[in-house]
Amino acid sequence: YKFLQENDQALLNFDDTDSSDDEDERGYHKLPSKLEVRGLLTFWCEFFWKLGDPHKEPTAHLFREVTQAFKAAVATTKGEEGGQCRYKVADSSVFNALVLFCIKDIHGALQRMLNLKPDKDQKKSVLPSSSPRWQKNQMDIKMYLSGVVQLLSSLTEATVICAVLKHTNQLVPYYLCLPKQCRHLIKQLMKQWSTGEETSRVLAFLALNKICRQKQETYLNPILKQMYISYVQNCKFTSPNVLPMINFMQRTLTEMYALDTQVTYQHAFIYIRQLAIHLRNAMTMKKKETYQSVYNWQYIHCLFLWCRVLSTLHPSEVLQPLIYPLCQVIIGTMKLVPTARYYPLRMHCCRALTLLSGSTNTFVPVLPFLLEVRLHVISSNQFPVARVSRTDTQLEDGMIDQLYDLILDYFHTQASSIGFPELALPTIIQLKAFLKECKVANYSKPVRQLLEKIQENSSHITGRRQKATFGVADATAVAAWEKQIQEEGTPLSKYYSQWKKLREKEIQLEISGKERMEDLNLPEIKRKKIEEKKAEDKKEFKGLFQSDSDSDEDDDAGLKIKCELTPSYLVSPTYLNPALQRMQFVDWCRLWYISQLGL
C-alpha cells in the first residue's frame, strides 16, 4: 500500500463501481508461473538502501523473495531457466543488476534481519546461528549461500570473480554454520587460490585463512592438506613467468602453517619423510627413473617450502627437531649425482640451506658445495654441461655472478659469528688460489672484491674478539657478544645491505628487459609486416616443407618446458642475439635445469 502511495496513487482511487457484474463468468486473474525480476528489482533496491533507518528492517518474506530471484539468476549461468523458482531472469542487464544488488546489500540485510552486532572485543566473530531468528531463516540463507558458490564456479571474468570473492569473505561466518555449503565453498576457494588471477588468489587465501582462524579445529587440517597438494601440482612446470605464482603460494601456505605449530609438525614430518624416502630409493636403486623422482622441480620446490616454513616460524620448540633431517635431505639431494650437469640444482639447494641456516641460527656447511662448483667449472676453463663455443661466455659469466651472490649471502648470515675467522679461512685460501690461476679479468675482479670483504670482516671480528673477557665455553656470554656485534653492524653486513639493493634493482631491470632495450636503441619491429611476409613464404614454399605448427610460439621455446637433448635456450633467437647476451644467470640456471631433467 505504501509503495503504491508513493509510486502510483491512481491505482488506489477506486470504489465499488469498479467491480464487474460478470466477474464470476470471466474468472479471476491468475499470476504467471514465472515473474520478471526487472520490475521488483527497483523496489528491492530502494527498500534495502533505506536500511539505515532504524524503523526499516528486512522481513523474512522479503529476503525469501530476493533469494528466489538470485537462485533463478544463478541457474541461467548453467543454461537452466530457473527450475522451480517463481522468478525468471530474462536478460543479462537484469542478471548483472541483481547480482550487483546482492553483493552490495545482502550481507548488511542479513545482519539486520538476524539482529547481529559485531563484537570488536572478541577475536572470533559471533556466528549467525546464535541468533534466535536463525532457525526461521536457515533454509533461505542456505539457498543463497549455495547460489553464491554456484555463481563463483561458473564465472570467468576476473573482475567479477574478485567482487564475488569479496562478498564471500563477508559471508564466511554464515558458511561456518552450514558444513555442507562450507565444504563446497572451500573447494572453489582452493581452485581460485591455485589457478586464479593475482587478485583472485589473494582474496581466496584471505577467505581460507578466515575459515581456519574461526573454526581451526574443524577445517585447518583438511585445508592445509589440500593447499599442499595444490602447491605440488602447480610446481610441476616452472618458468620465469610461473615463479611469482609459486613464491606467492609458498608465502601464503607458510602463513597458514603458522596458525598451529602442532598441526604443522604433523604435516611437515609426513611430507619431509616422504621426500627422504624418495631420496633413499634413488640412492639405493641408482636408476634414471629414481633419479628423476628427486631431480625435478616439484621436489626442489617442496624442499624450499619447508625451509621457508621452518625459517619463518623460528623459534619454535615444536618444529626445531625438523631442521636437522631437512638439512640432511637437502645435502643428500646435492650428493646424489654430484656432476657438473646438476650444478644449477645444487645452487637452488644451497640457497635453501642458506635461508634455513641464517633464520634458525643453525650452522650448515654450505660453502664446500659452492667452492667445489667454482674450482671445478671456472678454474678448468670449461663448462662441462653443454657444448658451446668459447666465444659464447654467457654461462661462465653467469656462473661467476651466481656463485658470488650465494657465497656473499651465506657469509652475511655468519657475519657476526664469533667463529667467523675460522669459518672464512678455507674460503680465503681457495679464493686466493683461484686468483693465481685465473687469467680472465671479468672472473677475477668480482672474486677479488669478495675476498677483500671477507678478509675485512674477518679482521674486524678478530679485533673485537681479542677484547673479550669471557671464555669459549661460556655460551651465554658468546650469544650476548654476537648479538651486540650484530646490532652494531659489521663491514660485511653493511656492504651486503648496499649490494642487495643494487642487485634487486638490477634483476628487476633484467627481468623487464628495459635496460637492454633502452641501451641498444634497436629499431622498431613491425609485427604485421613480418606476419604478412611469413604467410607469403608459406604460400610460396608450401610444397617443399611440412611444418608441424604454424604458431609463433616456437619463438619463445627457451622459456618453455621441453624434453630435448639440446638446452632449449641455445636454439632460441632471443639468446642467440649478440645484443642480448647479458642475461642474469638465475634464468640460465632455471632454463638449463628444466631442459636437462626432461620434465
Q: Does 161 reside within a domain?
A: yes
Quote the number of domains for the chain: 2
Q: Are residues 324 and 234 in the same domain?
A: yes
Region 538-556: mean pLDDT is: 40
108 and 188 share a domain? Answer: yes
Q: Using CA atoms in the order 119, 120, 121, 122, what is the torsion angle rounded to 10 degrees?
A: 60
Residue where a domain terminates, one of 307, 335, 363: 335
What is the 8-class DSSP label of residue 133? T
Structural domain includes residue 592? no
Q: What is the pLDDT of residues 203-223, one digit of tens each?
A: 999 999 999 998 888 899 999
pLDDT exceeds 90 at position 340: no
Can you tell me the distance from the alpha carbon of 108 to that of 103, in angstroms, rounded to the nearest whole number? Answer: 10
Which one has a higher pLDDT value, 526 or 285? Answer: 285
Closest CA to 175 of 218, 110, 131, 127: 127
Q: Taking 50 as the threshold, does the pLDDT of residue 237 lie above it?
A: yes
Better pLDDT: 316 or 81: 316
The Cα-based distances of 379 to 237, 372, 435, 452 in angstroms read 33, 10, 9, 20
Q: Which residues pair with 88 in a beta bridge?
A: 36
- Tell me, what's the pLDDT at 229? 93
Domain holding 261, by residue range, is 224-335
Task: Please say which residue of 335, 368, 393 terminates a domain.
Answer: 335
- Does one domain contain both 209 and 290? no
Sign of CA dihedral 468, 474, 480, 482: positive
- What local confidence, expressed as pLDDT, does residue 352 receive? 93
In sequence order, the 6+-apart residues with CB closer than 8 A to the CB of 246 are 231, 234, 235, 238, 301
| Predicted pLDDT of residue 10 | 62
114 inside domain? yes
For residue 593, the model assigns a pLDDT of 44
pLDDT of residue 530: 43
Residue 570 has pLDDT above 50, yes or no: no
Max mean pLDDT among 339-353, 531-545, 552-566 falls in 339-353
Q: What are phi and psi of 124, to 5 degrees?
A: -100, 135
Q: Report yes or no: 265 and 221 within 8 Å, Cβ to Cβ.
A: no
Residue 110 and residue 83 in one domain: yes
pLDDT score at 154:
87
Q: Are residues 183 and 250 in the same domain?
A: no
Looking at the fold, whether 293 and 236 belong to one and the same domain comes out as: yes
Kindly report the average pLDDT of the chain as a whole number.
Answer: 75
DSSP element (H, E) containing 188: helix 179-195
Among residues 100, 110, 112, which one has the least CA distance to residue 45?
100
Q: pTM value?
A: 0.73
User: Which residue would you say has higher pLDDT here, 593 or 536?
Assistant: 536
Over residues 85-101, the pLDDT tens digits come to 666 666 777 777 788 88
In this structure, are 100 and 136 located in the same domain? yes
pLDDT computed for residue 145 by the predictor: 92
In a domain, 575, yes or no: no
In a shared domain, residues 298 and 192:
no
Question: Does 109 share its domain with 235?
Answer: no
Q: Encode pLDDT of 142-189 as tens digits.
A: 988 998 999 898 888 888 899 999 999 999 999 999 999 999 999 999
The vertex-185 CA angle with 251 and 220, nearest 5°, equals 50
**What are the tens digits of pLDDT across the range 55-65?**
556 677 788 87
Structure confidence at residue 515 (pLDDT): 41
- What's the average model confidence in pLDDT over 509-535? 48
* Mean pLDDT within 565-593: 37
Residue 69 covered by a domain: yes
**pLDDT, tens digit, 9 for 90 and up, residues 17-66:** 444 444 444 444 444 444 454 575 555 555 554 444 545 566 777 888 78
R_g over Cα of the chain: 33
Residue 278 is predicted with a pLDDT of 92
| pLDDT number for residue 27 | 42
Is residue 6 a part of any domain in this protein?
no
Task: Please tell me the distance from the alpha carbon of residue 291 to that of residue 506, in angstroms, as a whole number.
Answer: 35
Q: Report, as an integer, the average pLDDT of 538-564.
A: 37
